[in-house]
Amino acid sequence: MRIGFIGLGNMGAPMAKNLGAAGHEVTGYDTAEVAVEGVAGAGRMQDAVAGMEVIVTMLPNGGIVRTVHEAVVAAADPESLIIDCSTIDVESARAVHELAGKKGLMSLDAPVSGGTGGAAAGTLTFMVGGSQAAFAKGRPLFEIMGAKAVHCGEAGAGQAAKICNNMILGISMIGVCEAFHLADRLGLDRQAMFDVASTSSGSCWSLNTYCPAPGVGPESPADRDYKAGFAAELMLKDLDLSQTAAEKNGAATEMGRHARDIYKAFVDAGGRGKDFSAILERLGQS
């Protein structure tokens, strides 16, 4: 396929690279003018859109997605599929679907889970909203960039799933960090804590796969001085999205709200750029 990829940051660059490595003709555009192996650079955004069968975007927030998609829809060929992999608010996702629909274009909101490691390895999970026909057209690309793609429903359903999933992740990571912090104060060995909790009712992804304690469990960012696999400020962004959605829809998410407040305090206190699991490090300083 001829694929245009807009947004070649920490996530977008490896995703575009994987598409190119699979034999697709990929043209990329980013305001930072970065170079990506196997991806032809475009000097203008329109050059990464016109004549493309699929246009993929990976952008920072809903406002930017809306602005970029106005230009994308204006320049896209009538048979193009537009896939937005950004993590944004549900309202913005639905708005860009509507924008594409007015021109007769197929579109998908397809945020991802798996972080920069998953983007590089091609093991991301895609949570996808849009029509069945659009999902069928995009699926071969999801299978290159990721290990799993779930069609969650119509426009905006992918973003809804991502927001809910990451609210669980933020809450559970704080719980795991607090448990290790308490174990430290009680004089319990961290390895013993892991061996018990990871094989009993405390078992969860934040503990078993992404343990926040250095030297315990499988290798994780904790073993690399909390160099971000998923930065704390990105977790804060997702928790902000969850709470905005909760307020607009009358959902009671007290734990989600408290997790948002904890991550905001962490980021404001110097946690920006560190992995979201570095909450454990902050608790140890209290």
Can you tell me whether residue 220 is helix, strand or coil? coil
Question: Comparing C-alpha atoms, which of 212, 207, 209 is closest to residue 222?
Answer: 212
How many angstroms separate the CA atoms of 179 and 19, rounded? Answer: 41
β-bridge mates for residue 147, sequence order: none
Q: Where are the alpha helices (DSSP H) in the chain?
A: 12-21, 62-75, 90-102, 115-121, 132-145, 157-185, 190-197, 205-208, 232-249, 254-266, 279-284
Residues 6+ apart with CB under 8 A from 190: 180, 183, 184, 213, 215, 216
Using only C-alpha atoms, the chain has a radius of gyration, in whole angstroms, of 20
- In three-state form (DSSP H/G/I as H, E/B as E, the rest C), the secondary structure along 86-146 is CCCCHHHHHHHHHHHHHCCCEEEECCEECHHHHHHHCCEEEEEEECHHHHHHHHHHHHHHE
Cβ–Cβ under 8 Å, residues 47 and 27: yes
Max CA separation in the chain (angstroms): 65
Catalytic residue among 162, 227, 237, 248: 162
How many angstroms separate the CA atoms of 61 and 70, rounded? Answer: 15
Q: How many C-beta atoms surround the C-beta of residue 234 within 10 A?
A: 20
| Residue 162 is a catalytic residue | yes
Q: Looking at the annotation, which residues are catalytic?
A: 162
